[in-house]
Chains A and B, each alone.
Chain A
């Protein structure tokens, strides 16, 4: 097999792990490809590199392909999400001022209960609260908006502003933002810099939220099916490898290298182990399923996940919801996943849609190999998303 080099853009984050591991642990090589991993300075840059053909694949925020097909944002090239790279993995944190007020009010920072955290925040708010997020089209924004709307923060004046995570500590110190939602390791970096405390893991709001996807140009997926197949299989293997508890330390070491995240392995380790230092007072909290690369068919691009995001985006931007949901479902390519992963170890669910929010306990479902268990995907307020009822 002739070795082919694929340029792939990514943001240096913990959840870029499947791409980095695919290259470093030989999963790409086994498929006859080499990944030329290009670290990008911004999400706009990742998207543009993909859209204008500088790279063939990209690590992308899960709502970006949905927003692009809805005509939101600067670029309109047709992009397909061929698999989900990671589920969950964000943290919500507050700056020093809010942290002090929450402590004074007796809040315990349990790092678990989203409704209680909202109640505590709403009680100490004085004036509008500004949250920083990495990008307007992001699961960070979606989780925050959902949490605001369906908690006691609904009555509080809140604003969401884009701040690149490396500048978040600075923005908190300058008072430009009061709180933030970022992907790891940036939450832990903020804590270590003494900028604030962590309030919630993202999965306290939605317990199985698609966070990053592997995206390719739709045209490229059609003209290069064999390359796409090799890429998807290599990345899927990397996710499977990452799901073994005993490799986490090694994975953190690989990610910490200068060429990738260029950060202490100890910081990266926190997300991979789900063991967090949440404040300057060294309080420790554990989270299960903080970031998931494999379990529960994590890589499967559910069309219903895309519909949920499209529904939320369409409501906010005043676009027709039904049309947006149909377009979105077509860019989450469960069809390509089935085609290219067939005959591999990956087990696939029988359906391509589920009722997001309806799984309360690990549940065995009909699948190709008959051994698939889906993990809970509930929202903190128990809502179940039924697209037919919403359109």
Chain B
């Protein structure tokens, strides 16, 4: 059996980190280390002498890892983010899935690929969950605003809830806007007039 790889995952969220670690460990007898965001990140990563570093593409601390790629940097073996042509496709898939990877120079594609495939699948799932969560949150926010706008209309015009919503919807359709936007405008305006 090939000697195990050392993989560092930079991740703040504990649950997400555990899920990623479990998935990576299933691909082989790898040593997987999780490091949370912090200053001096590059130095703490170097201490583990990793073969692969994985980080969420949306993580702003990613720029700290750029220091790893400097030949005169703290790592003896420079880390590059998929420079070679054959890994080019893999890099694009990784970026779309929301993971960026730093890979030690000279690591063979055969050893890299199973780890990256797993990481990509896992990060894609995380990204999907995050998008869904944001979508749900936004929908909830909009519901709240629409409810407040309905309340304002019910009070100001003495109409019932259905009529208030119908009025919001009609205004939105007439103006070519979304119901939530009309509701938001109404809530803002009434706040100003108060």
B-contacting residues of A (Cβ < 8 Å)?
41-45, 48-49, 52-54, 72-76, 134-137, 161-164, 166-167, 170-171, 174, 176-177, 316-318
Contact = CB atoms under 8 A, between A and B. Distances in A.
B120 to A, nearest CB: 14
A45 B70 contact: no
Main secondary structure of the interface of A (DSSP, over half): loop
B64 A163 contact: yes
Interface string B24-59: 000000000000000110100000000000000111
Interface of B: 39-40, 42, 57-67, 69-72, 79-81, 83, 91-92, 95-96, 100, 102
B83 A76 contact: yes
A74 B102 contact: yes
Contact of B63 (A44, A72, A176, A316): A44
Contacts of A166: 60
Given A136-B70, A162-B42, A317-B72, A74 B63 contact: no
B169 to A, nearest CB: 26
Contacts of A53: 92
A162 B67 contact: yes
A42 B72 contact: no
12 contacts: A41-B58, A44-B63, A48-B95, A54-B96, A72-B70, A72-B71, A74-B79, A74-B81, A74-B83, A164-B63, A164-B64, A316-B72
Contact of A52 (B62, B66, B95): B95
Contacts of A49: 95
B46 to A, nearest CB: 13
Contact of A73 (B61, B64, B69): B69
- Nearest 10 interchain pairs by C-beta: A74-B81, A176-B39, A164-B60, A42-B62, A42-B63, A74-B69, A162-B64, A41-B60, A41-B58, A171-B39
Nearest to B41: A162
Identify which of B61, B72, B79 gathers the most chain A CB atoms within 10 Å of its CB: B61
A167 B62 contact: no
Given A135-B66, A162-B42, A48 B100 contact: yes
A133 to B, nearest CB: 10
A318 B73 CA distance: 12
A277 B93 CA distance: 45
Given A135-B66, A136-B66, A162-B66, A318 B72 contact: yes
Given A41-B60, A42-B59, A163 B69 contact: no
B67 A167 contact: no
Contacts of A162: 42, 63-64, 66-67
A226 B69 CA distance: 36
A145 B130 CA distance: 41
B80 A163 contact: no
A44 B65 contact: yes
Contacts of B80: 74
Contacts of A161: 39-40, 67
A48 B39 contact: no
Nearest to A176: B39
Given A41-B59, A72-B69, 19 more contacts: A44-B65, A44-B100, A45-B58, A45-B100, A48-B57, A49-B95, A53-B92, A73-B66, A73-B70, A74-B69, A74-B83, A74-B102, A75-B83, A136-B66, A163-B39, A167-B39, A167-B60, A167-B61, A317-B70
Given A75-B81, A76-B83, A162-B42, A44 B95 contact: no
A156 B104 CA distance: 34
A383 to B, nearest CB: 24
A186 B36 CA distance: 24
A134 B66 CA distance: 11
A317 B100 CA distance: 25
Contacts of A171: 39
Identify which of A43, A44, A166 gathers the most chain B CB atoms within 10 Å of its CB: A44
Contacts of A176: 39-40
Nearest to A166: B60
B58 A44 contact: no
Contacts of B79: 74
Nearest to A52: B92
Contacts of A134: 63
B70 A174 contact: no
A45 B63 CA distance: 8
B63 A174 contact: no
Nearest to B78: A74
A117 B181 CA distance: 52
Identify which of B60, B62, B79, B96 gathers the most chain A CB atoms within 10 Å of its CB: B60
Identify which of B57, B66, B80, B92 gathers the most chain A CB atoms within 10 Å of its CB: B66
Contacts of A316: 72
Given A53-B92, A75-B81, A44 B39 contact: no
A136 B69 CA distance: 10
A72 B70 CA distance: 7
A135 B42 CA distance: 13
Given A44-B62, A48-B95, A53-B92, A136 B57 contact: no
B149 to A, nearest CB: 20
A216 to B, nearest CB: 18
Contacts of A42: 59-63
A326 B46 CA distance: 34
A41 B62 contact: yes
Identify which of B39, B57, B62 gathers the most chain A CB atoms within 10 Å of its CB: B39
